[in-house]
Amino acid sequence: MSSTAAPGSKGKVLLAYSGGLDTSCILVWLIEQGYEVLAYMANVGQEEDFDAAREKALKVGATKVFIEDLRRELVEELVIPTIQANAVYETVYLLGTSVARPVIARSQVAIAQREGCTHVSHGCTGKGNDQVRFELAYYALDPKLQVIAPWRIPEFYKRFPGRAALLEYAAQKNIPVSQTPSKPWSTDENLFHISYEAGILEDPNVTPPKDMWKLTVDPEEAPNTPERITITFKAGKPVRVTNEADGTDVTDPLDLFLYLNTVARRNGVGRIDIVENRFIGIKSRGCYETPGGTVLRAAHIDLEGLVLDREVRAYRDEHITPVFGKIMYNGLYFSPEGDLITKMVPLTQANVNGSVRVKLYKGTLTMEGRWSDTETLYDMEQSSMDVQGDFEPTDSDGFIKIQSIRLKKWGATQKKN
């Protein structure tokens, strides 16, 4: 790429902009390469001064800045279906970064189309998952859009091998730089979670410092009195949260999720520290806080035990839950298989109706009870060890005999061997 091209001569690019050092330098560098640059920011619930970021983007050369509030879309279209599927990656990661990417990319593509952009760009590193998630979404939503990924362009990453080179460039180009000291890790935040990786965390045996955790109270310092809430689901979707202690009664999906975040945060719920396998094949250590999502998923799983048919649940757990998680993690939400799996999830949730009583205490969750006013799979009389009801114990005799046929055959062969 030439560094002498006239601004705008190479086309118009919509840059996913964060307001930080990296994307501010990328914005100026793209202008140097001959592009007209428009900046785009997505409000997905991160703590951010969007007005300051807008002003900064315009100051360093963006011709337009777009700030889109995607919080409700994120909760209703991605977070809740992820909870309905009980989706998780590698048994523990709740997909906090992954679930936000589809709505962010979709909005970026829509603005790029509306503004007549020829390119879209992002500041993702060349070793991470997000470059894959964003770009696969871009290509699926608009195959004609061209993507500029500076951290994969040798001219860029060789010129800026580290933070010091970026700071020097920022000083040369009068790019405002935050005066707060750089933390020895990187973060990504949305209303579902916050992630911490890189820096000192790259050593998987380094204990994260206490001041790293931003969202949740240290479980050891959480209140000594448990807090109790009730979560009500309809067709697997959370529709109500009540807390008699503080008088809370929330039904709006976005407000409900934000309230769960508040309750979980003050009780130290939702921290994990793991090593995961990135889609591109590299192992990565990550620390995550997913307060409200942790509570919601646990309550949803508990209610399913009461109301969901055994075989439906087993099929979902084997064929839908892990596939949904892998699709989200790998950035394939906008794909034939992504379309199929998201349509399958609601079919498993028609009977997930009821309420769960949850106790939060010093980083732990305890389900203290659950009930449903509409679903009747659980029969107290039939389940009781003290009441026979309409279950005839002698029927178990035939059941056991049928189940034992193959085991008797197997046992016989074992003796011969």
Catalytic residues: 22, 101, 130, 186
Secondary structure, 3-state, 139-194: HHHCCCCEEECHHHCHHHHHHCCCHHHHHHHHHHCCCCCCCCCCCCCEEEECCCCE
3-state secondary structure of 282: coil
CA-CA distance, 122 to 30, in Å (whole number)?
Answer: 11
Chain centroid to CA 12:
31
Determine the length of the chain.
Answer: 417
Q: Which of 120, 118, 150, 114 is nearest to 137 (CA)?
A: 120
Measured at the CA of 84, the angle between CA 100 and CA 187, to 5 degrees, comes to: 25
Q: Which of 277, 348, 236 is nearest to 89 (CA)?
A: 277
For 386-402, b/e burial (b = at least 16 CB within 10 A) is eeeeeeeeeeeeeeeee
CA-CA distance, 92 to 97, in Å (whole number)?
Answer: 14
